[in-house]
Protein backbone atom coordinates (compact mmCIF):
# COMPACT_ATOMS: atom_id res chain seq x y z
CA UNK A 1 0.00 0.00 0.00
CA UNK A 2 2.74 2.45 0.93
CA UNK A 3 5.20 1.14 -1.64
CA UNK A 4 3.82 3.50 -4.28
CA UNK A 5 4.40 6.54 -2.05
CA UNK A 6 7.44 8.79 -2.34
CA UNK A 7 8.45 11.46 0.16
CA UNK A 8 11.21 14.00 -0.35
CA UNK A 9 12.20 15.49 3.00
CA UNK A 10 14.81 17.36 4.99
CA UNK A 11 16.12 16.63 8.50
CA UNK A 12 14.83 18.93 11.23
CA UNK A 13 12.18 20.54 9.05
CA UNK A 14 8.94 20.68 11.11
CA UNK A 15 6.76 20.41 7.96
CA UNK A 16 8.64 17.28 6.86
CA UNK A 17 8.59 15.75 10.32
CA UNK A 18 4.82 16.16 10.70
CA UNK A 19 4.23 14.29 7.43
CA UNK A 20 6.50 11.46 8.61
CA UNK A 21 4.61 11.29 11.92
CA UNK A 22 1.29 11.17 10.04
CA UNK A 23 2.56 8.34 7.82
CA UNK A 24 3.60 6.37 10.90
CA UNK A 25 0.33 6.99 12.74
CA UNK A 26 -1.62 5.79 9.69
CA UNK A 27 0.52 2.60 9.60
CA UNK A 28 1.99 3.46 6.21
CA UNK A 29 5.49 2.22 6.84
CA UNK A 30 7.45 1.04 3.80
CA UNK A 31 7.01 4.18 1.72
CA UNK A 32 9.92 5.29 -0.43
CA UNK A 33 11.74 8.42 0.63
CA UNK A 34 14.74 10.57 -0.14
CA UNK A 35 16.54 12.69 2.46
CA UNK A 36 17.80 15.93 0.92
CA UNK A 37 20.20 18.51 2.33
CA UNK A 38 18.97 22.09 2.69
CA UNK A 39 22.57 23.27 3.16
CA UNK A 40 23.52 21.84 -0.23
CA UNK A 41 20.30 23.11 -1.87
CA UNK A 42 19.45 19.55 -2.85
CA UNK A 43 15.75 20.35 -2.44
CA UNK A 44 16.03 22.55 -5.54
CA UNK A 45 16.97 19.61 -7.73
CA UNK A 46 15.06 18.89 -10.93
CA UNK A 47 13.57 15.73 -9.42
CA UNK A 48 11.75 17.81 -6.82
CA UNK A 49 10.92 20.69 -9.17
CA UNK A 50 9.19 18.26 -11.52
CA UNK A 51 6.68 17.59 -8.73
CA UNK A 52 6.80 20.83 -6.78
CA UNK A 53 7.44 24.04 -8.74
CA UNK A 54 8.18 25.85 -5.47
CA UNK A 55 11.10 23.44 -4.89
CA UNK A 56 10.10 23.06 -1.26
CA UNK A 57 10.03 20.14 1.13
CA UNK A 58 8.12 18.07 1.90
CA UNK A 59 7.18 16.95 -1.58
CA UNK A 60 4.92 13.91 -1.62
CA UNK A 61 3.67 11.58 -4.33
CA UNK A 62 1.18 8.72 -3.99
CA UNK A 63 0.77 6.88 -7.26
CA UNK A 64 -0.19 9.60 -9.72
CA UNK A 65 -1.31 11.99 -6.97
CA UNK A 66 1.12 14.75 -5.99
CA UNK A 67 0.44 16.60 -2.76
CA UNK A 68 2.66 19.41 -1.54
CA UNK A 69 2.37 21.57 1.60
CA UNK A 70 2.59 19.60 4.84
CA UNK A 71 -0.92 20.36 6.13
CA UNK A 72 -2.36 19.16 2.82
CA UNK A 73 -0.33 15.94 2.89
CA UNK A 74 -1.39 15.17 6.46
CA UNK A 75 -5.06 15.79 5.74
CA UNK A 76 -4.84 13.77 2.52
CA UNK A 77 -3.39 10.79 4.40
CA UNK A 78 -6.15 10.94 7.00
CA UNK A 79 -8.83 11.14 4.31
CA UNK A 80 -7.36 8.39 2.11
CA UNK A 81 -6.69 6.01 5.01
CA UNK A 82 -9.39 7.06 7.44
CA UNK A 83 -10.06 3.58 8.82
CA UNK A 84 -6.38 2.66 9.17
CA UNK A 85 -4.07 3.34 12.10
CA UNK A 86 -4.72 6.24 14.47
CA UNK A 87 -7.88 8.25 13.86
CA UNK A 88 -6.48 11.78 13.60
CA UNK A 89 -9.62 13.78 12.75
CA UNK A 90 -12.70 13.03 14.93
CA UNK A 91 -16.19 12.74 13.45
CA UNK A 92 -17.84 15.11 15.90
CA UNK A 93 -17.97 18.64 14.37
CA UNK A 94 -17.27 20.32 17.70
CA UNK A 95 -14.20 18.17 18.28
CA UNK A 96 -13.14 18.70 14.67
CA UNK A 97 -13.35 22.45 15.10
CA UNK A 98 -10.87 22.42 17.98
CA UNK A 99 -8.49 20.10 16.12
CA UNK A 100 -8.51 22.38 13.07
CA UNK A 101 -8.12 25.50 15.20
CA UNK A 102 -5.06 24.15 16.99
CA UNK A 103 -3.61 22.93 13.70
CA UNK A 104 -3.77 26.32 12.04
CA UNK A 105 -2.81 28.20 15.19
CA UNK A 106 0.48 26.33 14.94
CA UNK A 107 1.44 28.81 12.21
CA UNK A 108 1.22 31.65 14.74
CA UNK A 109 3.44 29.84 17.23
CA UNK A 110 5.96 28.95 14.54
CA UNK A 111 6.17 32.46 13.09
CA UNK A 112 6.58 34.16 16.45
CA UNK A 113 9.30 31.69 17.42
CA UNK A 114 11.12 32.15 14.11
CA UNK A 115 10.93 35.95 14.53
CA UNK A 116 13.06 35.58 17.65
CA UNK A 117 15.23 32.53 17.01
CA UNK A 118 16.17 33.48 13.46
CA UNK A 119 15.99 37.26 13.68
CA UNK A 120 19.58 37.71 12.49
CA UNK A 121 18.96 35.36 9.58
CA UNK A 122 15.80 37.04 8.30
CA UNK A 123 16.70 40.70 8.98
CA UNK A 124 19.71 42.26 7.19
CA UNK A 125 22.36 43.60 9.57
CA UNK A 126 21.70 47.25 8.76
CA UNK A 127 18.00 46.88 9.47
CA UNK A 128 18.25 45.18 12.86
CA UNK A 129 17.00 47.07 15.90
CA UNK A 130 17.07 45.97 19.52
CA UNK A 131 13.58 47.40 19.99
CA UNK A 132 12.23 45.19 17.20
CA UNK A 133 13.82 42.07 18.66
CA UNK A 134 12.44 42.99 22.09
CA UNK A 135 8.96 43.34 20.62
CA UNK A 136 9.33 39.96 18.91
CA UNK A 137 10.30 38.39 22.23
CA UNK A 138 7.29 39.93 23.95
CA UNK A 139 5.01 38.57 21.21
CA UNK A 140 6.51 35.11 21.57
CA UNK A 141 6.19 35.13 25.36
CA UNK A 142 2.52 36.10 25.01
CA UNK A 143 1.97 33.30 22.50
CA UNK A 144 3.58 30.75 24.79
CA UNK A 145 1.34 31.87 27.65
CA UNK A 146 -1.66 31.35 25.38
CA UNK A 147 -0.66 27.77 24.56
CA UNK A 148 0.17 27.04 28.19
CA UNK A 149 -3.34 28.26 29.01
CA UNK A 150 -4.86 25.90 26.47
CA UNK A 151 -3.15 22.92 28.07
CA UNK A 152 -3.94 24.12 31.59
CA UNK A 153 -7.62 24.27 30.68
CA UNK A 154 -7.50 20.79 29.12
CA UNK A 155 -6.06 19.27 32.28
CA UNK A 156 -2.93 17.31 33.07
CA UNK A 157 -2.05 14.59 30.59
CA UNK A 158 -4.19 16.07 27.84
CA UNK A 159 -3.26 16.48 24.21
CA UNK A 160 -3.67 19.75 22.32
CA UNK A 161 -7.29 19.16 21.37
CA UNK A 162 -8.50 16.89 24.15
CA UNK A 163 -7.86 13.48 25.63
CA UNK A 164 -6.96 11.84 22.32
CA UNK A 165 -3.91 12.23 20.08
CA UNK A 166 -5.10 14.01 16.92
CA UNK A 167 -3.86 15.81 13.82
CA UNK A 168 -3.35 18.88 16.01
CA UNK A 169 -0.55 17.01 17.78
CA UNK A 170 0.90 15.67 14.53
CA UNK A 171 1.13 19.18 13.13
CA UNK A 172 2.24 21.06 16.24
CA UNK A 173 4.66 18.74 18.03
CA UNK A 174 7.55 19.35 15.59
CA UNK A 175 7.28 23.08 16.33
CA UNK A 176 7.07 22.59 20.09
CA UNK A 177 10.11 20.29 19.93
CA UNK A 178 12.16 23.25 18.71
CA UNK A 179 11.76 25.10 22.02
CA UNK A 180 13.91 22.77 24.15
CA UNK A 181 16.15 22.24 21.12
CA UNK A 182 16.83 26.00 20.98
CA UNK A 183 17.21 26.23 24.79
CA UNK A 184 14.03 28.13 25.58
CA UNK A 185 13.85 28.59 29.38
CA UNK A 186 11.31 25.94 30.50
CA UNK A 187 9.71 28.37 32.94
CA UNK A 188 8.44 30.34 29.93
CA UNK A 189 6.15 27.48 28.95
CA UNK A 190 5.94 24.81 31.68
CA UNK A 191 2.75 23.21 30.36
CA UNK A 192 4.13 22.97 26.83
CA UNK A 193 7.27 21.36 28.20
CA UNK A 194 5.17 18.82 30.12
CA UNK A 195 3.38 18.10 26.86
CA UNK A 196 6.73 17.75 25.07
CA UNK A 197 7.98 15.25 27.65
CA UNK A 198 4.74 13.28 27.33
CA UNK A 199 4.96 12.98 23.54
CA UNK A 200 8.68 12.76 22.76
CA UNK A 201 8.74 8.99 23.35
CA UNK A 202 5.58 8.23 21.35
CA UNK A 203 6.68 5.57 18.81
CA UNK A 204 5.78 7.58 15.70
CA UNK A 205 7.82 10.51 17.03
CA UNK A 206 10.75 8.81 18.72
CA UNK A 207 11.45 6.48 15.78
CA UNK A 208 11.63 9.45 13.41
CA UNK A 209 13.65 11.95 15.44
CA UNK A 210 15.51 14.22 12.97
CA UNK A 211 18.81 12.51 12.06
CA UNK A 212 20.97 15.58 12.58
CA UNK A 213 19.35 16.18 15.98
CA UNK A 214 20.54 12.72 16.99
CA UNK A 215 24.03 13.57 15.74
CA UNK A 216 24.01 16.91 17.56
CA UNK A 217 21.63 16.64 20.54
CA UNK A 218 22.57 20.03 22.01
CA UNK A 219 21.19 22.29 19.30
CA UNK A 220 21.71 26.06 19.30
CA UNK A 221 20.90 28.46 22.12
CA UNK A 222 18.75 30.78 20.01
CA UNK A 223 16.05 31.17 22.66
CA UNK A 224 18.11 31.09 25.86
CA UNK A 225 17.55 34.81 26.54
CA UNK A 226 13.80 34.75 26.04
Domain chopping of the chain, boundaries: 5-80, 93-215
Helix/strand/coil (H/E/C) assignment for every residue in 18-69: HHHHHHHHCCCCCCEEEECCCCCCHHHCHHHHCCCCCCCCCEEEECCEEEEC
Indicate the SS3 state at residue 125.
Answer: helix
Q: Is the pLDDT of residue 34 over 80?
A: yes
- Mean pLDDT (whole number) for 26-55: 96
Q: What pLDDT, on the 0 to 100 scale, is given for residue 202?
A: 98
What is the tens place of the pLDDT at every residue in 106-153?
999 999 999 999 999 889 988 999 999 999 999 999 999 999 999 999
Mark out the alpha helices in the chain (DSSP H runs).
14-25, 46-49, 70-80, 93-117, 119-122, 130-154, 167-176, 178-181, 190-199, 203-206, 211-215
The CATH T-level fold of domain 93-215 is Glutathione S-transferase Yfyf (Class Pi); Chain A, domain 2 (1.20.1050)
Q: Is the pLDDT of residue 2 over 80?
A: yes
Cα 60 from Cα 45, distance rounded (Å):
15
What is the tens place of the pLDDT at every residue in 50-83?
999 999 999 999 999 999 999 999 999 999 999 9
Cα 100 from Cα 42, distance rounded (Å):
32
- Banded model confidence at residue 191, pLDDT cuts 50, 70, 90: very high
What is the tens place of the pLDDT at every residue in 143-188?
999 999 999 999 999 999 999 999 999 999 999 999 999 999 999 9
Which are the contacts of 116, defined by CB distance < 8 A and separation ≥ 6? 133, 136, 137, 140, 222, 223, 226
The CATH T-level fold of domain 5-80 is Glutaredoxin (3.40.30)
**In terms of DSSP bridges, do strands 65-68 and 59-62 run parallel, antiparallel, or are they unpaired?**
antiparallel
Q: pTM score, two decimals?
A: 0.96
Amino acid sequence: MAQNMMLYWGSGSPPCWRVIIALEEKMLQGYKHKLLSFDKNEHKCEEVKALNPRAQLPTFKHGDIVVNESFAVCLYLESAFKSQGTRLIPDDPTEQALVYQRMFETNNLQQKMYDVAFYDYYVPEGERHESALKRNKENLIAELKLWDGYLEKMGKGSYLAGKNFTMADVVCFPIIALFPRLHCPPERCPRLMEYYEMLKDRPSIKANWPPHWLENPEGQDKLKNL
